[in-house]
Amino acid sequence: MSGNGARQCIVVGGGPAGMMLGLLLARAGIRVTVLEKHGDFLRDFRGDTVHPSTLEILRELGLFERFDNLKQHRVQELNIAFGDRLQPFADFRGLKPFDYLSVVPQ
């Protein structure tokens, strides 16, 4: 705590978990600084798929509308190539409220 009684926190790492923690702490009135060594998110290990469960979390946080305005591709089913044929791997159709996986550059 600082001298004025305000709570403060430093989050090390600006990945998905660190950014979410920073957001939730800030919404709770805590002064937060998120430290990230990279200047962007353009790294191979960062996924660019956002799953239905994550879309629901974005909706609950009030962030879905902003996310939905990003350029993205919605995928309802995934297939895997085995030799010369495609095998169904995942089917999101029928899930509520989001029946798709979103592919969006991070």
For residue 100, the model assigns a pLDDT of 97
For residue 105, the model assigns a pLDDT of 77
For residue 46, the model assigns a pLDDT of 60
Q: Helices then strands (H, E): number in the chain?
A: 3, 7
Mode of pairing for the β-strands spanning 31-35 and 8-12: parallel
CB atoms within 10 A of CB 88: 9
Q: Check: CB of residue 80 under 8 Å from CB of residue 28.
A: no
For residue 1, the model assigns a pLDDT of 47
Q: Check: CB of residue 94 under 8 Å from CB of residue 52.
A: no
What's this model's pTM, rounded to 2 decimal places? 0.72
Give every residue of the chain whose pLDDT is below 50, as ranges: 1
Tokens of 1: 């705590």
Rounded to whole angstroms, how far apart are CA atoms 3 and 15? 30
For residue 7, the model assigns a pLDDT of 79
